[in-house]
Structure 1
Amino acid sequence: MSTLTKQDTFISLLETAPKNFDSARTLARESYLTQGIPAIKAEEYKFTNIGKKLEQNISNFTPALPIEVSTELVQSSIFEGFEGDVLVFSNGKFLSELSSKIEGVEVSLISEKSDLALGSIAKPEKDPFAAINQASFEDGIFISVPRKTQIEKAILLLSFNQSNVGQVIQPRIWIEVGDFAEVTFIDQTISIGSTPSFVNKVVELKGGVNTQLNYYRLQNEGKNTIEVSNIETDIQKDAKFTSVNISLSGDLVRNNLSLNLLGSNSEGNMYGIFLLNGKTHVDNHTNVDHTIPHSESNELYKGILADQSRGVFNGKIFVRQDAQKTNAFQQNNNILLSDDAIINTKPQLEIWADDVKCSHGCTVGQLDEEALFYLQARGIDKMQAKGLLLYAFAGEVLEKIEVESFRTYCDSLIQERLGSKF
């Protein structure tokens, strides 16, 4: 077991944490003391030395204070064509005065929910940063969609982040969706300024029986942003969950995404695209846990890496002994556009049942020279031809986004990055 020392970058957070949720915070603190800041020798972080980066840049963390957010800033930041409700955050703090009042949906502060089973989904013992968040977050948001409620338009979780060096932004979100309910969330963060910042985010999603839950996320933050997110989902019988994670920017980004299929005929879909340049480092760690018979999961992550960027994909699918008749599919495909770009990919299956259909795989390569020549032979210059081929590669993930305005927005960002616009 490790112990806190004066050199520990998180000591001040743990010592000055709020006093609510005492048992949950104590458990998380103990979990962190056991795990400590991940070193490069830690298996789960062997390709992402986030501990070294944090310790090099920051000697002691304090909570980031909210920044001023105006109505004009909110309105100008909403992507074109979006028609749903908006919940606004400033450095992780919920701003009710700038947020929509969503009809039929409960939105309140986590501090008002003393009986909330905090950490029962995103368990602090699974990741040290989840433990840090649970032990020291100041407040968060609780969202509850009642049984049989159908929210036709997506709910936008719009966050504005700006912190000083040595401050940590710790968003905490709990979302529960009642039986037979349907809802889509879009999670978007906007970085203000270029100051180096650290974001440590935890989202717990709880889907009931026969729910339809979509969670789309766009990471297009400042070049100096270090971010760790733990997003974990439980779904029950006959439920369907779909996540799409798009990573475009940041300094070092670690995404931990876990899905627990807890009922028969449940379906989980996890899709992602990471489009990296410069020295951006993005690490996607995914877990899908099949615990019961007759469930299905589909996972597809694609990476396009240029310059000196680095990507990591580590996907795990667990099929428990009782989870017969499971269908589970996982694929990671990557294109490297420079000799200095690096991808570390490790798709994994752990199967204890014998009546299953499971597959996993990965590819790493470069652009198809024949396809590139074909487009150039038809009057398309080389840069545009490359952009078109790369956009077609990314399109298989983008088409999984069912909200047209958000898909169009992401499409535009990716085309602009790839240079495939005419």
Structure 2
Amino acid sequence: MNQESDMALASYRSAQATLESTDLLQDPDWIRDLRAAALGSFLSAGFPTARRGNETWKYTNVEPISSVIFHCPEQGLKPETKDLDSFVIHETNWTRLVFLNGAFSSCLSTPSLVNDGISVSSLANSLKSHSNILQKYLGQLADYSGEPFTALNTAFLHDGALVHLAKDTRVDAPIHLLFLTNSRKSDVVTHPRVLIIAEEGSQATIVESYGSFHNERYFCNTVTEVFVDSNAEVNHYRLQRHTNLAYQVGTTQVQLQQDSRFSSVALDLGGSLVRNNLTVLTDGEGSSCKLNGAYITNGKQHVDNQVIIDHAKAHTSSRELYKGILSGSSKAVFHGSIIVRPGAQKVDSRQEDRNLILSEDAEADVKPAFWINADDVKCGHGTASGRLDDDEVFYLKSRGLDENSAKRLLMRGFIKEVIDGIQCETLKLHVNDLVDSKLEDL
């Protein structure tokens, strides 16, 4: 570990000590103990390194993060309404929680949704009203041992979003969790946290969005835990729209019980260095997941998706489709792992990653991996990287389109299969607008 990393570790130790000493956080002992243990784990492990033998970080160098001393952002800064509008999905029946610099902003959010069947509120506000639930679930999936960035997030855990659905509760309108960095100073860090608990027979659609108002360098380190009980269903969408100076490491851990369903669409458009860790554990027979992802990169962007589907029980299924469009000297990494445990017969799993390479200097590193410990399963994968078809471009030009319009139309068609996984039409229209805007910049 170099001197810059040592200084960064020391700065996190100091910042966490300051956090614990403030009168602002009169938190229960159990969460203070959780933070302290996580900090110890992070300081002991240090930052991961891109080296031979460390396969999960082989293609991603986190030195841009580990060599910088990031600071906790100032609080109380409110954006202009016009700036917020570009991030808000304007539907009157949606529940929206907005977090500025990691802290819940009640004035920018819709009223928290709390009734007999559902609770959508900030973690900080829930420590008193839902302390037993938080103590039971928080940190149970996001194990920080051996995961430095999860440990770092947990060490600074003081706010975030709680979505708790009671048995047989169905929420028709989506829940939007919006995390924004608002600082005119560079080198700030936030640690957003999300806890989603869907009890037996419940159903909800949840959208996580990330972005910033200013084009400054910052670091966003996120952790999301999703518990889906038997016969429950969660549709989860993540939209990442950071500036091209930002760094993000995001970890999502999902546990599925019997006959439950989880679908996900993840969209990465911004960020200088982005790392996404998604793990789904099918822990009950009949459970299933469908994971879609899209990334569109240009310049020197680096996006790394590490996806693990762990089939722990028999008669479970998974579908995984990731697609990328790369230009400039950008780089994408996809490492998809399918695990089938002993006794998990009748598993049906399919994994695909496909990339459209628009320039000579763009690069896609794809590594599928399978660990099959049962003999009566169907598991397959497909990978492909290629360029736009010149004949298709020529045909569209012959129909009256200019070359750039023809190429954008083909790129939209390439990414459409992923976006079609979004079941909410309003959100799908919003995402299509974001994709069109990004494609204009390629």
Task: Answer yes or no: same fold by TM over 0.5.
Answer: yes
Out of 53, 58, 62, the residue aligned to residue 71 of structure 2 is 62
AA paired with 1:211?
Answer: A
Deviations 1:344-400 (A, max 9, x none): 111111111111000012111111122222222222221111111111100000000
Out of 4, 25, 28, the residue aligned to residue 35 of structure 2 is 25
Instruction: Give the Cα separation in 1 of the matches to 2:199 and 2:78.
Output: 32
1:411-422 alignment runs, 5 A limit: 411-419=432-440
Contact 2:280 2:309 in 1 (8 A): yes
2:353 is aligned to 332
In the alignment, structure 1 residue 389 sits paired with structure 2 residue 410: yes
Contact 1:312 1:345 in 2 (8 A): yes
Out of 41, 51, 55, the residue aligned to residue 43 of structure 1 is 55
- Secondary structure in 1 aligned to 2:89? coil
Instruction: Give the Cα separation in 1 of the matches to 2:172 and 2:78.
Output: 28
1:140 is aligned to 160
Backbone CA RMSD of aligned residues: 2.4
Q: Which has the higher mean CA deviation after the structures are superposed, 160-169 or 16-25?
A: 16-25
Instruction: Give the Cα separation in 1 of the matches to 2:80 and 2:168.
Output: 33
Superposed displacement of residue 67, structure 1: 4.2
In the alignment, structure 1 residue 298 sits paired with structure 2 residue 319: yes
Quote the sequence identity (%): 33
Instruction: Give the Cα separation in 2 of the matches to 1:341 and 1:135.
Output: 36
2:392 is aligned to 371
2:138 is aligned to 118
Instruction: Give the Cα separation in 1 of the matches to 2:294 and 2:386.
Output: 16
In the alignment, structure 1 residue 53 sits paired with structure 2 residue 64: yes
Instruction: Give the Cα separation in 2 of the matches to 1:225 and 1:204.
Output: 23
- Secondary structure in 2 aligned to 1:412? helix
Cα distance, 1:413–1:216 mapped onto 2, change above 3 Å: same
Deviations 1:173-199 (A, max 9, x none): 111111101100111123111111011
AA paired with 1:47?
Answer: Y
Q: Which has the higher mean CA deviation after the structures are superposed, 156-165 or 267-276?
A: 156-165
1:401 is aligned to 422
Q: Which has the higher mean CA deviation after the structures are superposed, 137-146 or 326-335?
A: 137-146
Deviations 1:7-47 (A, max 9, x none): 52533244445374244234423432443101121321121
Instruction: Give the Cα separation in 2 of the matches to 1:307 and 1:71.
Output: 33
1:84 is aligned to 94
In the alignment, structure 1 residue 106 sits paired with structure 2 residue 116: no
2:247 is aligned to 226
AA paired with 1:336?
Answer: I
Superposed displacement of residue 75, structure 1: 5.2
Superposed displacement of residue 142, structure 1: 2.1
Superposed displacement of residue 289, structure 1: 0.6
- Secondary structure in 1 aligned to 2:344? coil
AA paired with 1:394?
Answer: I
Instruction: Give the Cα separation in 2 of the matches to 1:261 and 1:17.
Output: 37
Q: Which has the higher mean CA deviation after the structures are superposed, 116-125 or 286-295?
A: 116-125
2:149 is aligned to 129
Instruction: Give the Cα separation in 2 of the matches to 1:7 and 1:400.
Output: 40
Q: Which has the higher mean CA deviation after the structures are superposed, 382-391 or 109-118?
A: 109-118
Instruction: Give the Cα separation in 1 of the matches to 2:238 and 2:89.
Output: 14
AA paired with 1:341?
Answer: A
Deviations 1:296-334 (A, max 9, x none): 000000010001111111111111012111001100000
Instruction: Give the Cα separation in 2 of the matches to 1:75 and 1:319.
Output: 44
1:155 is aligned to 175
- Report the count of equivalent residues: 417
Instruction: Give the Cα separation in 2 of the matches to 1:149 and 1:225.
Output: 37
Contact 2:251 2:277 in 1 (8 A): yes
Instruction: Give the Cα separation in 1 of the matches to 2:91 and 2:162.
Output: 27
Contact 1:17 1:135 in 2 (8 A): no
Cα distance, 1:339–1:75 mapped onto 2, change above 3 Å: closer
Cα distance, 1:309–1:76 mapped onto 2, change above 3 Å: closer
Show structure 1 runs of 5+ residues with no match: none
Q: Which has the higher mean CA deviation after the structures are superposed, 102-111 or 35-44?
A: 102-111
1:272 is aligned to 293
AA paired with 2:233?
Answer: Q
In the alignment, structure 1 residue 288 sits paired with structure 2 residue 309: yes
Superposed displacement of residue 246, structure 1: 0.5
Cα distance, 1:316–1:76 mapped onto 2, change above 3 Å: closer
Cα distance, 1:313–1:407 mapped onto 2, change above 3 Å: same
Contact 1:80 1:405 in 2 (8 A): no
Instruction: Give the Cα separation in 2 of the matches to 1:359 and 1:394.
Output: 21
Instruction: Give the Cα separation in 2 of the matches to 1:82 and 1:301.
Output: 32
1:188-203 alignment runs, 5 A limit: 188-203=209-224
Cα distance, 1:376–1:71 mapped onto 2, change above 3 Å: closer
Contact 2:47 2:66 in 1 (8 A): no
Cα distance, 1:67–1:345 mapped onto 2, change above 3 Å: farther
Show structure 2 runs of 5+ residues with no match: 21-26
2:23 is aligned to none
1:170-181 alignment runs, 5 A limit: 170-181=191-202
AA paired with 1:262?
Answer: D
Instruction: Give the Cα separation in 2 of the matches to 1:55 and 1:325.
Output: 43
Deviations 1:42-94 (A, max 9, x none): 321121111x11244x2x33322334336835556423557411111111212
AA paired with 1:275?
Answer: I
2:328 is aligned to 307
AA paired with 1:272?
Answer: G
- Secondary structure in 2 aligned to 1:347? strand
